[in-house]
């Protein structure tokens, strides 16, 4: 697998590197460790120009020293990892780099958020979760070894979910993952259990799933239902599909994936809905 990890050398991002290194080792993959320096719009992103800015040369030296220290860490031993330094908008650069380099998985650290900060400020992690075309694994707590053998996959069993699930399959096949399919029925989006079961059986048939079980529950909200079920199941991670949101829309609304990234105790694996031709 080709795995991208944005790093700022904080404890949070180092946790993401540890998790990504574990996956790279398991999949015989390659890590791209990406550090992004935000620059004023009037400046060029050429290294030679950056070095001429007051303090620019010292900044680059510090970044390179940080990378040298990171690459010597024991958890990166025998892992194929390369450093990348870019000068652009953080969120958009991550998205562009992933697309241009055929990245299979983005692994990001997140502190989570609460209260007004959670409501008003979209972190770079949340923006990537919202818009990435490839799966994003969000890590909030230290993980020495990733074992994705027991996954809670929250879904509506719709056609877009079927298409999007295929993006997870490369990772799930590597770990021979058991998938706990979960549909949360709410009052606002009600359907009968029989209707949900019909959709679930079609979902399983189309994807050819073998190692799975189906769970359909009622709850007052989808993200709380997922969290409550996860606390009983204790999965390796929670996986789900998210929707892309406009900047204006996101100020007043938060996707289920973003709520889980902020509030769940488990790593969250997400990918943006694939659009059907219907």
Domains of the chain, with CATH numbers? 2-139 (3.40.50.620), 150-272 (3.40.50.620)
Over 60: is that where the pLDDT of 245 sits? no
pTM, entire model: 0.86
Residue 155 near residue 240 (C-beta atoms within 8 A): yes
Query: What whole-number distance in Å separates Cα of residue 112 and Cα of residue 159?
Result: 30
Query: What whole-number distance in Å separates Cα of residue 157 and Cα of residue 111?
Result: 30
In this structure, of 171-175, 212-216, 253-257, the range with the lowest mean pLDDT score is 253-257
pLDDT class of 55 with cuts at 50, 70, 90: low
Instruction: Take residue 162 and report the two structure tokens written for it.
Output: 């079927």
Predicted pLDDT of residue 208:
94
Section 228-236 average pLDDT: 95
Predicted pLDDT of residue 255:
67
In this structure, of 5-19, 36-50, 96-110, 129-143, the range with the lowest mean pLDDT score is 36-50
Query: What whole-number distance in Å separates Cα of residue 158 and Cα of residue 164?
Result: 10
Predicted pLDDT of residue 269:
93
Predicted pLDDT of residue 87:
80
Q: What is the pLDDT of residues 80-133, one digit of tens each?
A: 999 999 887 778 899 999 999 999 999 998 764 443 333 333 467 777 887 888
Predicted pLDDT of residue 70:
95
In this structure, of 49-53, 195-199, 229-233, the range with the lowest mean pLDDT score is 49-53
């Amino acid at each position: 697998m080709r795995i991208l990890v944005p790093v700022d050398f904080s404890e949070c991002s180092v946790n993401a590197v540890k998790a990504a290194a574990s996956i790279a080792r398991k999949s015989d993959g390659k890590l791209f460790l990406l550090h992004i320096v935000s620059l004023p719009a009037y400046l060029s992103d050429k290294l030679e120009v950056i070095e001429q800015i007051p303090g620019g040369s010292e900044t680059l030296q510090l970044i390179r020293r940080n990378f040298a220290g990171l690459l010597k860490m024991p958890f990166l031993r025998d892992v194929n990892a390369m450093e990348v330094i870019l000068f652009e908008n953080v969120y958009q650069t991550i998205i562009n780099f992933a697309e241009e380099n055929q990245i299979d998985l983005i692994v990001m650290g997140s502190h989570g958020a609460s209260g007004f900060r959670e409501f008003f400020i979209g972190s770079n992690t949340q923006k990537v979760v919202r818009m990435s075309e490839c799966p994003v694994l969000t890590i909030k707590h230290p993980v020495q070894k990733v074992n994705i053998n027991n996954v809670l996959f929250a879904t509506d069993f719709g056609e877009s979910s079927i298409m999007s699930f295929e993006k997870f399959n490369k990772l799930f096949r590597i770990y021979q993952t058991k998938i706990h399919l979960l549909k949360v029925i709410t009052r606002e989006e009600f359907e009968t259990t029989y209707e949900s079961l019909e959709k679930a059986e079609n979902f399983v048939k189309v994807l050819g799933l073998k190692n799975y079980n189906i769970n359909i529950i009622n709850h007052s909200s989808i993200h709380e239902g997922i969290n409550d079920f996860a606390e009983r199941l204790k999965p390796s991670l929670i996986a789900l599909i998210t929707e892309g949101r406009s900047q204006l829309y996101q100020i007043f609304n938060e996707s289920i994936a973003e709520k889980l990234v902020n509030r769940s105790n488990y790593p969250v694996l997400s990918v943006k809905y694939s659009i059907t031709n219907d």
